[in-house]
């Protein structure tokens, strides 16, 4: 068994928590206690049934304490963590801000697993935003936590390509697979007290907030390839607006531009070979299928609106 005493923070039902916890347990990590967020407090775009045992199940099986404070600022909770005497806090999908008092408890600090590059996509829903912005690659970043939001020094990172047609779930799965070997490496380096660390370039820091309804409106000032990635990520969720009405796009494609002049109006569709098309800064976006009020309609009919 490893010597470094770990307090493990996560959320039940979230694969980011449980798949890595599974690796910590398999490698005989010296976990001394668990902390989970209250049920229902987690906001996530990764919506699949968790195939691993939840943090609550693992805590019960290992006969270790499991704390579920309404806020990490609770003085009684802080005392409980101090009583565990952890050397380090490991955080995997715990959506509460860790205070300075809590971060100062373990002598080795707190370490977070963040499913996207830093400082490129700090904050919430990083995989959704990586696809939304049209990034070509992403990965898992393991980093020290400080009083900023995902601003601490980087320990390790992995890289995976973002593929055409990726959903949040498919991309998370590839990231998880590449990051699983990092657990043993982390445990080895913790016991050896030899963790690498690289400061983030704060000039490139970009924080993502909670997703709003407006973020699902297709912005035709973006390249067609980016818009296709958004629709493929969540078919039927992204929409276009014509004459004040919303139409939800389930499929679209890039077609070759058929004219040499580019005197088009943004958000104004036109017909190409009897197909509905929008001009974007790079490529024509052809709308293949669209719904309104959960009923499929012919995209070309939107020209009459």
Among 70-84, 194-208, 228-242, 265-279, the minimum mean pLDDT is found in 265-279
Mean of the per-residue pLDDT values of the chain? 94
Report whether pLDDT(242) > 80.
yes
Spell out the domain ranges in the chain: 5-208, 213-304
Which CATH number does 5-208 carry? 3.40.50.170
Output the pLDDT for position 46. 53
Report whether pLDDT(263) > 90.
no
pTM for the model stands at 0.91
Output the pLDDT for position 261. 65
Output the pLDDT for position 161. 97
Report whether pLDDT(43) > 80.
no
Report whether pLDDT(226) > 70.
yes
Cα gap 45→48, rounded to integer Å: 9
Q: pLDDT band at residue 289, thresholds of 50, 70 and 90?
A: very high
Report whether pLDDT(70) > 60.
yes
Report whether pLDDT(45) > 70.
no
Report whether pLDDT(149) > 90.
yes
Q: pLDDT band at residue 51, thresholds of 50, 70 and 90?
A: confident
Domain 213-304 sits in which CATH superfamily?
A: Formyl transferase, C-terminal domain (3.10.25.10)
pLDDT digits (tens, 9 = 90+) for 92-108: 999 899 999 999 999 99
Output the pLDDT for position 1. 84
Q: Mean pLDDT across the stretch 277-298?
A: 94
């Amino acid at each position: 068994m490893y010597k470094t005493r770990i307090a493990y923070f996560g959320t039940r039902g979230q694969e980011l928590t449980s798949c890595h916890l599974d690796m910590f347990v398999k490698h005989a990590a010296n976990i001394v206690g668990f902390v989970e967020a209250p049920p229902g407090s987690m906001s996530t775009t990764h919506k699949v049934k968790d195939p691993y045992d939840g943090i609550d199940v693992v805590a019960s099986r290992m006969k270790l304490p499991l704390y579920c404070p309404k806020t990490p600022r609770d003085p009684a909770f802080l005392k409980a963590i101090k009583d565990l005497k952890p050397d380090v806090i490991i955080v995997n999908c715990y959506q509460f801000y860790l205070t300075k008092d809590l971060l100062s408890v373990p002598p080795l600090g707190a370490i977070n697993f963040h499913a996207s590059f830093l400082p490129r996509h700090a904050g919430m829903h990083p995989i959704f935003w990586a696809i939304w912005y049209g990034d070509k690659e992403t990965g898992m970043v393991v980093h020290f936590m400080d009083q900023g939001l995902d601003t601490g020094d980087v320990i390790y990172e992995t890289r995976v390509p973002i593929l055409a047609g990726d959903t949040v779930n498919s991309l998370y799965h590839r990231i998880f697979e590449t990051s699983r070997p990092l657990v043993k490496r982390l445990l080895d380096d913790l016991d050896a007290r030899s963790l690498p660390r690289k400061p983030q370039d704060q000039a490139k820091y970009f924080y993502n907030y909670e997703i709003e309804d407006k973020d699902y409106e297709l912005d035709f000032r973006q390249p067609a390839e980016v818009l296709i990635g958004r629709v493929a990520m969540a078919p039927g969720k992204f929409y276009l607006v014509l004459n004040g009405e919303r139409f939800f796009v389930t499929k679209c494609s890039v077609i070759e531009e058929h004219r040499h002049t580019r005197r088009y109006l943004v958000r104004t569709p036109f017909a190409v070979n009897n197909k509905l098309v929008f001009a974007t800064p790079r490529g024509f976006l052809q709308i293949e299928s669209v719904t309104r009020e959960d009923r499929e309609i012919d995209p070309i009919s939107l020209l009459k609106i």
